[in-house]
Structure 1
Amino acid sequence: MLRICSAFVFVLVPMQVEAAEVLSGPVRVVDADTWDVGGIRVRLHGIDAPELDQTCQSDDGANWSCGVWVTDQVRELYQGEKARCRVLDRDRYGRAVARCLVDGADAGQILVARGLAFAYRKYATVYVPQEHMAVASRAGLHAGKVQAPWLFRSISKAAQPSSGCKIKGNISAKGEKIYHLPGQKFYARTRINESKGERWFCSAAAARKAGWRSARS
């Protein structure tokens, strides 16, 4: 259904590291654009990738879990590899915003060129040429219909309960009431439909009291 194109010529811009904070170490992929590098949480500069719970549409109109797929693709490329990252900023979550090289190649550039991430024009335009090539060749995500991640987050945030409660009380296809805590395996994929009796909880104790059990993973 999707294809990854790798026939691109990458023009790497030398990184001036003398006066900048530099991180290095093995990569643990949290999601496509957020890594742990040597134990430090890093947000890759200048790119934006689908969220883990984001879905896309294929050419035939079928929905598929593109956020999970993209993260799996990035893990195949970089999990356990050694990265060297130049820190450019810190974001509001305390993450190091950085450009990272793996085997001398700019990871952000490669991810955008392969259609695994978007150029995040709000913060940088350095990867726009790679995105244009990926769109033209229908590489990765561009083989179907995909919503820009920043738009997806904006819509998702508007749909969250005003109470700020984060625990998801889901009802399974078998009618079982299960609550999911942030960080659990299926939390990101679980959607709440209040018209079906599903609901948000502010604490695990409140969920249990209402008759929900904890997700097993």
Structure 2
Amino acid sequence: MTGWRLVLAAALLAAPAVALADPCEGALPAPGARFDGPVRYVGDGDSLCVGKSSDPSTWIEVRVSDFYAPELNSPGGRAAKTLLEDVVWRQYLQCRAIKHSYDRVVARCTIDGASVGDLLRARGGVEGGNGRGGRR
């Protein structure tokens, strides 16, 4: 394979990974800390970003603590993401950080006092992700 073809092949293979990267770049709050703001991005059925400004460098990446959605590329994963978008998009969340996990914070988040997990279950959300195993 010639040099330019190898570079092109590498670029094409890397493109999907870049497209799937979330834009949330804010500092993660310490466990126990409270934070709030509107939802700016939904990554999958149980991950989102909260940020008070339109600047992604201030957005906090959150893994919802009380709901375990199917993985995005698993059966039901796309529907779970759509449901989370329907429930939280541009809503103002109040969250409490529980712990860090990878590059995000696991947090319990509420909208007007109702937990995001409870709101998803009330709308028929099906759990089955890799977290604690699915509840039905």
Asked if these proteins are the same fold (TM beyond 0.5), I'd say yes
> Over aligned residues, Cα RMSD in angstroms?
2.0
Q: Give 2:96's aligned residue.
A: 86
> 1:202 corresponds to which residue?
none
- Match status 1:45 vs 2:65: yes
Task: Determine the C-alpha separation between the residues in 2 that align with 1:45 and 1:99.
Answer: 5
Paired amino acid for 2:84: V
The CA deviation at 1:117 is 4.1
**Letter paired with 1:98:** A
Amino acid corresponding to residue 67 of structure 1 in structure 2: G
Unaligned runs of 5+ in 1: 1-18, 56-65, 119-147, 152-217
Question: Which amino acid in structure 1 is aligned with residue 66 of structure 2?
Answer: G
Percent identity over paired residues: 34
Matched with 2:74 is 54
Show the counterpart of 1:36: 49
Higher helix share: 2
**Distance of 1:46 and 1:107 partners within structure 2:** 8
CA 90–117 in structure 1, closer or farther in 2 if over 3 Å, else same: farther
Alignment of 1:67-216 (within 5 A): 67-91=77-101, 93-118=102-127, 148-150=128-130
Which residue of structure 2 aligns with residue 58 of structure 1? none
**TM-score, length basis structure 2:** 0.61
CA positional deviation for 1:108: 1.3
Q: Could you tell me which amino acid in structure 1 is paired with residue 61 of structure 2?
A: R
Aligned length: 93
Q: With structure 1 as the length reference, what TM-score do the two structures score?
A: 0.40
Partner residue, 1:201: none
- What's the secondary structure of 2:120's corresponding residue? helix
Shift of 1:114: 3.2
Instruction: Give me the whole-angstrom Cα distance separating, in 2, the residues matched to 1:23 and 1:83.
Output: 8
**Counterpart-to-counterpart distance in 2, 1:69 and 1:89:** 27
Query: In structure 1, what residue type is equivalent to 2:34?
Result: V
- Greater RCO (CA < 8 Å, at least 6 residues apart): 2
SS at match of 1:36: strand
Which of 23, 26, 39 is the matching residue for 2:38?
26
**Which protein is bigger by CA-based radius of gyration?**
1
**Structure 2 stretches lacking a partner, 5+ long:** 1-30, 52-58, 132-136
1:59: which partner in 2?
none
- Could you tell me how far apart the structure 1 residues matched to 2:84 and 2:67 are? 13
